[in-house]
Amino acid sequence: MSSTIFSDGSSKIKTSIPHINSLDNAKFKKLVQRIADKTGRQNETIFTIDELNKLENAFGLSIDIIKQLIESIEYIFLQSAYHLIKPQILENDLINEQNFDETKAKIFVEQWSTSAKEIVERLKSSHIASHSLSDVRWTLDVGISQASKSKVKRPTAIYEFQLKNEQTQQIENIQTEFNKEELYVFFEKLESIQSQLDALMT
Which position has the higher pLDDT, 130 or 50?
Answer: 50
Distances, alpha carbon 153 to alpha carbons 66, 143, 145, 146, 200, in Å: 50, 6, 7, 9, 43
Q: In one letter, which amino acid is 65?
A: I
> Taking the domains of the chain in order of start, what are their residue ranges?
3-125, 131-201
Which position has the higher pLDDT, 202 or 161?
Answer: 161
Q: What's the predicted TM-score (pTM) here?
A: 0.63
Counting beta carbons within 10 angstroms of the beta carbon of residue 142, is it exposed (0 to 12), middle (13 to 18) or buried (19 or more)? exposed
Which position has the higher pLDDT, 36 or 187?
Answer: 36
Which position has the higher pLDDT, 171 or 199?
Answer: 171
Q: Is residue 125's pLDDT more than 70? A: yes
